[in-house]
Each structure stands twice: as C-alpha cells, then as structure tokens.
Structure 1
Amino acid sequence: MRKTLALMVVAAMALGVTTAQAGPAPGNAGRYDRPLPGFSPAHTTLTEAPPEAVGLDPEPIEKALAAVRAATEAPGGELPLLPGAVTVLGHQGRIVAKEATGWALRYADGEGTELPADERLPMRTDTIFDMASVSKLFTSIVVMQLVEAGKVELDAPVARYVPEFAENGKEAVTVRQLLTHTSGLPAWLPLWSQYPDVPSRLRAALTAEPVAEPGTAYEYSDLNLIALGVLAERVSGKPLDDLVADGITGPLGMRDTGYNPSPALRDRIAATEYQSTPPRGMVHGEVHDENAWSLGGVAGHAGIFSTAGDMAVLAQALLNGGSYGGKRILSRRSVELMITNFTPEFPGDDHGLGFELNQRWYMSGLASPRTAGHTGFTGTSLVIDFPSRSFAILLTNRVHPTRTRGSINQVRRDVAQGLAEALAVRPRHGRDAWFSGVAPDTTATLDAPVTVPATGARLGFDLFIDLESTESLFLETSTDSGRTWSPVPFTVYDRGTATHTDGSYTDSGKRRWMRVRAQLEGGDRIVRWRSVTDATEAGRGVFVDGIRVTAGPKVLLDAERHPEVLTADGWRAVER
C-alpha cells in the first residue's frame, strides 16, 4: 500500500533537532579558509545554537534573512516575489538560523485575490513544502542503496533492468548517465496531457527518443529520474514511496517527508499554483508538477513533500558520510560518489550521481567542487557545503498563486551568500587583511607607491581569492602618477604548483591562501590591486595580506608595519 505522511500530534521545527546549550565549537568551526576533507563525525546530530557559538559572524546571516523577508513583501498591493518562505542555516552540527516569513496560503485564485484573513495560513517553521525536483535526490539515494546492495551496477545499461528502455536506440545508456543527466534524453515530455493513463505515460517516458548521443551532451531531464524510479521499483519489487520511506525517511526520523500527504496535514502544507490547465484550481496538498500528479503523485523526478527541519536532518546525514542518529542510509563511499564531478567535459554543468555541484547561480559564495545541492521549480533549494560542513536551506512556495512573477535565484544566492560571508577568512599576517568586498558591478582598487632601484625589486603578498570566472583580480603599475596603467605579470604559488599570469587572475572554490611573487622594474611607481566584479553571482571576494617589496636584503615597502602607505578605494582592512 502506498505510504503517505503521518499526522503529527506535536509539530516541531525539525525532527531530530534539539535546542541545547552551545558547547565548545568543533575544530575549524566558523572558517571559510580552512576547507575540511572527508565528512563530519558520524555521530554528529543537530542542535540549535547562535552563530557566535560556532565562530560565525551573525551580521551576514541577519542580512540574508532580511533579504528573504523583503522578498515576501510588496508595496502598493502588488504580488510579492515570494508568498512565504522558511530558511534554515546549519554549520558544524548546529542550526544557527531558522525563520519563517510570509504565508503558506494567501490567495484564492490565479489573479492574486487575497483570501480573508481568517482563511489564510501563516508560514511556520514546520510548514510542509512540495519539494519539486529536490525529489530527484531521494530517487538518487534509493538507486545508490541498490548499487550498494549489489542489485544495480552504475555502468550497466538501463535496459538490463527495464527492457523497454532500449527502444529508440537507447540500448547502451547506463544508470550512471541517467544520474548525471548525460543520457541524451529530452528535458521533458507532456505526459499528463498527451497520454491517457499511468501505464501509457510511463511507457512514453521510458521509450522516449534521445535528442543527443549518450555521453555527448549534458541535458537536465525529468525523464532520467522517472526512468530511475521505475528501475528501482523493478529491481526491488517495491513501489518508490516504500523505498524512500524504508530506506531514507524512516531510518532518519523524517516523519514529515513523503509522497501524497494526508489531507489531515493540509493546514501545515504550503499552497502552490492555481492551475486552470489542467483544471485543478488552487493546488494545495497535492504535487504541483503535472506529470508527477498524472502518475499518481509518486515519481522519480517529483512528488516529495518535506519540511526545512527534515531536510536539515538529511543534509547533516550526508555531511556525516551517510548516517545520522546511529542509522546509516549510505556508505561513505556512496556519498563521495554522489558529490564527485562525473561531467568535467561539460564545464559549468558539474554533476555527481544525483547532485548538482559547484553551481554559483544559486550556491553563490558557498560554491565549490565539493558543494552539492539541488533546486525545485516550486521555489525550493538545498545547498550542502562539505568543505565547511554547512548547509543552507530555502523553502518557498514561489509559484503561489502563479509561476509568472519572476526568478527567485537572487534570493537563493542571498541565503547562501549570507552563510558564506558569516564564515571567516582569517588574515595570514597580523590582525587584519585587505578585502575587496563582493558588491556587484564594482571596481575596487588598492594602491601602494614605491621607489624601485634600477636593478628592480620583488613584490610578494599572500592572496585569497574566490571569484566567478567572469571576474578577476588585476595587478598593475603606473609610472605617471596613475594616469596610465600597465599589467604586472605575477606567479601564484599553491601547494607546490606555480601558475604564471599575465597580470590578471581568477579562481574559485579552493578556499585557501596562496603566495604571489612578481618582479618590478626600476623607477618611482604605484602598484595597484584592482578587483572587478560583474552584475551576476557573488563569491567570497579577494583578500591580500603581507604586502612587501624588497630589493635584496633591503625592504622598500612593508604594508604590515606601515599600512598608512596604502590608498584604498573599495577595499577595507578586515579581521575576518
């Protein structure tokens, strides 16, 4: 029998999450510049603590929460970008922020007619959301569990387990290619409108004609996960919702997570869209995705409902290497595979086995090769940052009452960026370092005058840089009091490697200090560090420290001892 969400007698913000006095912070807590390998200790469970208890700066977190609040407000009777939202931030086993804002149910129709006040539902920290494509992660975990059990092979053809999948030339498409969206399948098919029943819809999804040769293109596709859901059912002999309940939500105590929630939970569920085609009216308590709805509410690509608290438990279980509260749902090896980039040939589309990786467009300053996550069309997003052992969860019902109000990606970025900026980048020398800031569309300059002997001099400084690929740090020099500038080639030394540049450099995700060397020609000159950002995603920015110019044993400039020689425009001295 298909399993549904059980009615909870007592609502808690997060199952498995308790409020506790904050004890000593774990090692490297609060640090952005000391990425941690591997996983958190398997026994780590979530407790609540203020950001300061784990070395975080509370100001960027409050700024992120304020951005979410602002998105739920609109002047002059206009529809806000978000009807409501729940935000949860975690670091090193501590929930450092949780907040509900706005409304779970606000509108009566697709035009935005507001319900009477007594018929609306305020957002709560335990509101249940339609997770949309975040459901794909649950299907992926189920598949990995079958791999662990020896029932599925990642590089076996899907047709071994689902014979009809071979139609239309898909005989060689593998399980791994479905998990990494490199199967060549189209992104979507209108199953709900073009086929009369569940069997015909599933057959259409499984026998779909590819739009590219397998392995030659990255194409994010719902059909990949629909096929994986069917595969899991065929191999196990159990329906997908039972597999999720028995293998994930049950062991982890995620009692608010599952498919087809009980009508008794309606007052805790966030409404989604008013749909006239198909004529469903205000969708509230049923899956929003039309294809998942037409498949009975349970599908590999969509259908999961959950709370921010439950998703926090899942995030921590993955940070722990697959276990939580003494229950293991995946081996450490399987989690590592899920967050390993198997699509390096498609830059910008980094993908593990189920997880998206290093996606600056919603992970913002948390993005790195070991940052995993997923988003959902209804307005949900999950970011799990393994290097700092943190997570950022933003759940919204942004499609209520209509999907046409615009993108919420900036709000997603604001939340992730708030946690990224709360993590410290500590100076390498002294009490502070120079920071470029992360404001968009900004040029920040830091100037240092120096007189260099005719034999030349060596410039050295420490560099921490986290920018997106379209942004750069430039090292330049001027001999005419700043009227004209020329690039200064420099070399970046990082763990035994040397990268030679033409005077500009960008990098992201490394999260560590590096050493820079450059040669300066003789004469009176100004050396300038120029950081340039664009209008899109933010990173953690640029830090320089330990600036010195030497000619043999003679020190020509020492910015640590004499910071007053520097002229900053947009840069500032910071302690973290």
Structure 2
Amino acid sequence: MRAAVLAGATVLALLASVAPAAAGDAARFDQPRRGFSPAGTELRDSSPRAAGLDPAPVREALAAVERGTREGGADASGTSRPLFSGAVTVMATGGEVVAREATGWALRYADGQGTELPRDQWEPVTEDTVFDMASVSKLFTSVVVMQQVEAGRVDLDEPVATYLPEFAAGGKEGVTVRHLLTHTGGLPAWLPLWSAYPDPGSRLRAALEATPVGAPGEQYLYSDLGLIALGALVERVSGDPLDALVAEGVTGPLGMVDTGYNPTGDVRDRAAATEHQTTPPRGMVRGEVHDENAWALGGVSGHAGVFSTARDMSVLAQAMLDGGTYAGERILSRSSVEQMLADENREFPGDAHGLGFELDQRWYMGALSGPRTAGHTGYTGTSLVLDYQSGSFAVLLTNRVHPSRSWGSVNAVRRAVADGLARALRVPPREGRTAWATPTTDATTSTLTAAVEVPARGGRLAFDLFVDTEATDVLALETSADGGATWSPLPFDVRDRGVVTRTDGTVAGAGHRTWWQASTRLPAGDLLLRWRYTTDAGEQGRGVLVDGVVARSGGQVLLDGERRPGAFTGVGWRTVRG
C-alpha cells in the first residue's frame, strides 16, 4: 500500500488494491472494484432506479446536454450560439444502460456564419445518428497496435524505425512504439500536411520524417503525428490497411456495424454534419472526416477518421470494461487491456496516460475521474469515459463543429455527463439512515456546524468521512471558542484500511473512494465544531460526506449525530439517505 501524507489540502492518495464489489453493489461509488467487470456482462436497457441509481443526477446531466443545443456558445462577433447542434448521450453501469437520449439536430446550418436552413430542412439527431469521432479514433489505432503486439509482430519498446526505417529521419532513432502511444516521443503536435504537400504519399512521408521538438521520454506532448506513424506501422507489419485491421480486429468481432472509415450508403446518410469549411473549400462537411489532415490522407489515418454511433461506442466501452471481450468475442487479452490502463506518464503530473488511453483527466471525466478512469475526446465534440472502479461508462457524441469550430468548448457538458453518472452512483450512510453531504456547485462555501460542551478533562471527536474532490476543493475541520467570531483549524487523524495519517485539519483529492474513520482530541470549553467545504470555479469530484459524528469525554457522550441530528446546522450541506 502506498500513502501520501495529508499536508494542507493534499489528498490521502491511497491507491491500494480494493476487494471487488459484490454484484449487488454495482451501483455503489464507495466500493471500488479491482480488475474488470464480471465476465459476460452485456448491455441491456434499464433505468436509473432499476439499476439502483439516483435518477435526479442523470436527469440533470441529460438536461445539461439538451441546454447545450440551445445556448452556451458564441461566434466571433459575440452573438449567442448553441454549444453544439445535436448530441446523443449514453450512460451505463454494470451493463445496465440507464440513459440513452438523442437531442438537437444532425443538420441545421447552411454556412459557417450560422445561417439557418429553412426549418423543414433541419434533420434531427436520432439514436442511430453517425458521428465523426475525430481523435477518439486514436483508441482504435491503439487497440490494433496491441493486437499486433499480441501477434508478436510489434514490441512496445522497440524503436519505431525498426518497422518504419524512414521514421528515423530527424534524429528519431530512439523513439519507441511506447513513446508514441503515450505521447512522449517528442514529436510536434501537428503539421499542415493537407496544405503543405501535394498528395497522400508526400503527406505521409512528411508526417513520418518530421523533425522532433524534444527528446523521447522527456515531456508529454499530445501529437497527431505519433498516431499517424502508428497507423502506418501496423499497416507495414501486417500487410493490411488500417481500415481493414480495424474492421477485422475490432468492429467486426464486436458487431459495431455502423463504425468505420469513409462511410458509405445508409451509414453516410445518417452522418451528422460538421463544419462548413472554406479553407480547404469543402463546403458543409458531412459524411467525410472533418480533420483536414485525415481527409488529405484519404480518410483513413491513425489519428482521426473513424465514424460511429453511440450504440457502437457503448459496445466498445463495455468490451474494454470487461477486459477486452464482449458477447463471447475477444479483441484483446486481459493483460493487454491492463497494460493500456497503466499510467505510463507518472513523471508528468496531470498528464496520466496509458497505452492509447488518457487516464484520470477531470477536465472531461468530471466526478468519475480517478486512477482507474480511462477515456478520450475528439475535436468534433465526442468523448468516451470508462470508470473501472464502478464498472460504468459515459458516451457523449456531439457535432459541436457544426457549422463552426469557434462557437465554444463542450468540456463543461462533457463533465456534466460524467458528473451525473458519478453522483447517481450511491454512497450510502456509514451509520444509521442518513449522512451529511456537501453541495455540488462551483465557487461555493458550505458549512456544517454543531455546538459541544467539553469538560475540563477534554474529549475526543470521531466521525466517518468520505472525500472525493479535486485537489483545490477543500474540506476543513475547524473549532471556535468564542461563538463563531474566530475559527481555528482542528487537526485530525484519518484511518483507511488500517493506515492512519495525520492531517492539518484539511483534506482534498480523489481516487480512493472509501470511507475513512476520523478522530481528534477536543480541548475543554464551550465549542463550536465546523466542517467547512470550499469549491473553486472549476471542476468537482463526487463530494464530501460526514456521518456518525460522536464526541465523548470519558464515558460521557457530548454529541451524537445519529441520535440528535437536530444538533447540526447545515448551510449548503444536505442530508442523504441510504
């Protein structure tokens, strides 16, 4: 077990293995699972209540998505615009799909300035609308790379130039396959391949021969060029094109019938429109990849080009949660999936990354974020979040670049979807029927206060504590001896599975998802105790819960939160039931 000392507002980062939750605890946030979901888990329609979830946060998340189709963005002139034209949202836990909702429009605009088509020409988003996945395509490339590793054709720690000799140009001889999967190869983020080179062959050569901007392994720099190279690598070692490898190794076995590159026929007809492009002069892009470089490479590239539906992406999500298998079809071994989920970038705090998967990125994973939360986003407005600790996933597909890429970011809505699923997962009281919980709003200070008379011999305070916040959202335990005129921090100990750590009176952070037992000494006097929770203007976690508060002096009970809940005054805090 590893533990980081709680100093100031630093979390107790207990990342030890936790016993798997029982099947009946699938809807629990406070009983993190180890490993993968139970073998044979398949998706089935359900509802939040039937799955044991709180329906309210799910409704709030879907409402946030719907609002995004009406408001939240602005064009270059400052005119109010929707964040995105349309969206499909899927939320699931334990294989139970608790939400699947389409909203907005697959086609709404006539040009990049936001001129609307005649109302009878608007096309609604439906559950089978096909979306340009943009950089979520990188996950498909990464899976194919791992399949080539399993086949013995690729070694993760072998230089890429072993397989693509031309890649060595510019001093990249030491860049390995692992470096490219983790975006630590020192490659530039991007090059204008579509405009600077005349044909697909010269564009691919330019990507492979690009001069690095840093040494391998020395920095994290998200790079499309690295995934373009990996797409070329798997083609070279297998002798098959990337789109065929994805079809034969991923979408075909999983029955993802609407997923692939360069859609045709009915699939293309169901594609959501993306951007109206004038440079290059493509007009309203629909059914062709939005990314200019992928388009200029023929629509099939390691970094972009995949089209899919929310249904198909849900199947891929469940297959990865299940350790690489779905409906009896295995696309990766469990050990390969484990490798993809292990943080390779511990030297680069904030940029946790596995082999292809981003990890623990609260900016879009919201309250689901943790060391075993994986996913990816796409520039067109797509995102996938897999939470292994609860066996849950969230898919959000939007066409946020329709008709312009400049109307706003969808990150707040991405977080809202992940937050909704996380907060719907239960954290029952540790003692009795109710517990106190913090609000889930930004830029807020909330307090939970109780009075206690401590005799001359002093006393002790004990309580149960659940903390899942971002590092800048802080819970402080404080005491006042002058009726609340002034407050002082009250340091306390926390015990988690036998490990005791001393705090300075404040805690924050995420990842553990377990109840702690907290205790401290109380000085003599007529005191006020206060749990004060302060959030900043940005992201949040699942929140803080306090339960089972008891103050004693010798054999005398001074305060009992279970027997006398009315002794507490909550400002912003609310009671929650099991």
Normalising by structure 1, we get a TM-score of: 0.94
SS in 1 for 2:418: helix
- Give CA deviations for 1:195-250 in whole Å, capped at 9, x if unaligned: 11112111111111111221111111111111111111111111000000000000
Matched, 1:502 2:504: yes
Structure 2 equivalent of residue 389 of structure 1: 391
- Give CA deviations for 1:304-327 in whole Å, capped at 9, x if unaligned: 000000000000001111001110
Offset of residue 563 of structure 1: 1.1
Structure 2 equivalent of residue 48 of structure 1: 45
Distance 2:437 2:84 in 1: 33
Distance 2:291 2:542 in 1: 35
- Give CA deviations for 1:504-536 in whole Å, capped at 9, x if unaligned: 111202111011111121111111100111111
Structure 2 equivalent of residue 365 of structure 1: 367
SS in 1 for 2:286: coil
Offset of residue 499 of structure 1: 2.0
Task: Letter of the 1:269 partner, please give it.
Answer: A
- Contact kept, 8 Å, 2:258 with 2:267, in 1: the verdict is no
- Give CA deviations for 1:264-298 in whole Å, capped at 9, x if unaligned: 43331000000000010100110000000000000
User: For 1:118-267, what aligned pairs fall within 5 Å after superposition?
Assistant: 118-267=120-269
Structure 2 equivalent of residue 416 of structure 1: 418
Distance 1:206 1:91 in 2: 41
Moved more, 399-408 or 452-461: 452-461
Offset of residue 36 of structure 1: 1.1
Task: Letter of the 1:32 partner, please give it.
Answer: F
Matched, 1:438 2:467: no
Structure 2 equivalent of residue 3 of structure 1: none
Offset of residue 330 of structure 1: 0.4
SS in 2 for 1:54: coil
Superposition CA RMSD, Å: 1.4
Distance 1:488 1:74 in 2: 44
- Contact kept, 8 Å, 1:366 with 1:416, in 2: the verdict is yes
Task: Letter of the 1:38 partner, please give it.
Answer: G
Q: 1:73 aligns with which of 70, 74, 95?
A: 70
- Contact kept, 8 Å, 2:442 with 2:536, in 1: the verdict is yes
Q: 1:37 aligns with which of 31, 34, 37?
A: 34
User: Structure 2: where are the runs of 5+ without partners?
Assistant: 1-21
Q: 1:406 aligns with which of 401, 405, 408?
A: 408
- Contact kept, 8 Å, 2:189 with 2:221, in 1: the verdict is yes
Moved more, 265-274 or 372-381: 265-274
Matched, 1:573 2:552: no
Task: Letter of the 1:515 partner, please give it.
Answer: Q
Offset of residue 552 of structure 1: 2.5
Offset of residue 454 of structure 1: 2.5
Structure 1 equivalent of residue 5 of structure 2: none
SS in 1 for 2:370: coil
Offset of residue 459 of structure 1: 1.1
Distance 1:367 1:388 in 2: 11
Shift of the 126–498 alpha-carbon distance from structure 1 to 2, 3 Å rule, reads: same
SS in 2 for 1:79: strand
Sequence identity (%): 64
Distance 1:389 1:257 in 2: 23
- Contact kept, 8 Å, 1:131 with 1:378, in 2: the verdict is yes
- Contact kept, 8 Å, 2:473 with 2:540, in 1: the verdict is no
Q: 2:280 aligns with which of 278, 281, 287?
A: 278
Task: Letter of the 1:395 partner, please give it.
Answer: L
Q: 2:429 aligns with which of 398, 409, 427?
A: 427
User: For 1:257-406, what aligned pairs fall within 5 Å after superposition?
Assistant: 257-406=259-408
Distance 1:44 1:28 in 2: 15
Offset of residue 50 of structure 1: 1.3
Task: Letter of the 1:62 partner, please give it.
Answer: R
Task: Letter of the 1:114 partner, please give it.
Answer: E
- Give CA deviations for 1:444-488 in whole Å, capped at 9, x if unaligned: 111111122233221111110111011110011100000000011
Task: Letter of the 2:149 partner, please give it.
Answer: V
- Contact kept, 8 Å, 1:182 with 1:217, in 2: the verdict is yes
Shift of the 305–168 alpha-carbon distance from structure 1 to 2, 3 Å rule, reads: same
Distance 2:278 2:244 in 1: 32
- Contact kept, 8 Å, 1:26 with 1:54, in 2: the verdict is no
SS in 1 for 2:280: coil
Matched, 1:63 2:60: yes
Offset of residue 336 of structure 1: 1.0
- Contact kept, 8 Å, 1:158 with 1:175, in 2: the verdict is yes
Offset of residue 70 of structure 1: 1.0
Task: Letter of the 2:53 partner, please give it.
Answer: L
- Contact kept, 8 Å, 1:263 with 1:285, in 2: the verdict is no
- Contact kept, 8 Å, 1:131 with 1:303, in 2: the verdict is yes
Structure 2 equivalent of residue 22 of structure 1: none
Distance 2:122 2:267 in 1: 15
In the comparison of the two structures, how many residue pairs are matched?
552
Distance 2:439 2:475 in 1: 12
Q: 2:24 aligns with which of 14, 22, 27?
A: 27
Matched, 1:116 2:113: no
Task: Letter of the 1:150 partner, please give it.
Answer: G
Distance 1:485 1:392 in 2: 42
- Contact kept, 8 Å, 1:431 with 1:575, in 2: the verdict is yes
Task: Letter of the 1:189 partner, please give it.
Answer: L
- Give CA deviations for 1:366-425 in whole Å, capped at 9, x if unaligned: 111101110000000000111111110110000000011111111111111111111100
- Contact kept, 8 Å, 2:466 with 2:545, in 1: the verdict is yes
Offset of residue 78 of structure 1: 4.7
User: Structure 1: where are the runs of 5+ without partners?
Assistant: 1-24
Distance 1:267 1:560 in 2: 60
Distance 1:27 1:228 in 2: 41
Structure 2 equivalent of residue 519 of structure 1: 521
SS in 1 for 2:530: strand
Shift of the 313–556 alpha-carbon distance from structure 1 to 2, 3 Å rule, reads: same
Structure 2 equivalent of residue 85 of structure 1: 87
Task: Letter of the 1:44 partner, please give it.
Answer: T
Distance 1:167 1:565 in 2: 72
Moved more, 542-551 or 450-459: 450-459
Structure 2 equivalent of residue 20 of structure 1: none
Distance 1:150 1:189 in 2: 32
Distance 2:562 2:177 in 1: 55
